[in-house]
């Protein structure tokens, strides 16, 4: 009787290099564009909630409402910077799940 000694298999480690992804370099997905196209098809979303005259191009995440660029800028400066008030552009920015939930 011979017991076969199994050769120790060399585990090939798959090294996944964690590269820092700069999201602004990644093209915005078609899905996202389609989503906002659909959102803006709704007349409640199509026009700015503030001035009600211009078409929406931005979104205020903390208020979950659509605004035009000018009103978005006003909100941005009124609150004191983008970090605090979370103004997003609809078509040129990436969105995470949390932000999309409020849309
Ligand atoms: Zn407006």
Tens place of pLDDT per residue across the chain (103 aa): 656 666 666 555 555 555 666 767 778 889 999 999 999 999 989 999 999 999 999 999 888 899 999 999 998 888 776 565 578 899 888 888 888 888 8
What CA–CA distance (Å, rounded) separates 52 from 72? 13
Among 72, 94, 83, residue whose Cα is nearest residue 22:
94
For residue 74, how far is its CA from the centre of ligand 1 (angstroms)?
Answer: 9
Q: What is the pLDDT of residue 1?
A: 61
Q: What is the pLDDT of residues 40-53, one digit of tens each?
A: 999 989 999 999 99
Q: What is the pLDDT of residue 86?
A: 78
Query: What are the chain's domains?
Result: 29-102 (1.10.220.150)
Q: Spell out which residues have Cβ within 5 A of ligand 1, the ion.
A: 48, 50-51, 54, 68, 71
Q: What is the pLDDT of residue 53?
A: 96
**Distant-in-sequence, close-in-space partners of 53: CB < 8 Å, separation ≥ 6:** 47
């Amino acid at each position: 009787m011979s017991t076969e000694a199994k050769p120790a298999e060399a585990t090939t480690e798959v090294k996944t290099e964690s590269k820092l992804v700069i999201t602004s370099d990644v093209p915005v997905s078609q899905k996202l564009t389609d989503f906002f196209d659909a959102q803006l098809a709704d007349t409640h979303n199509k026009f700015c909630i503030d001035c009600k005259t211009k078409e929406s191009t931005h979104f205020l995440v903390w208020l979950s409402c659509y605004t035009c660029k000018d009103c978005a800028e006003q909100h941005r400066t009124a609150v004191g910077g983008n970090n605090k008030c979370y103004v997003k552009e609809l078509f040129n920015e990436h969105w995470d799940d949390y932000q999309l939930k409020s849309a």
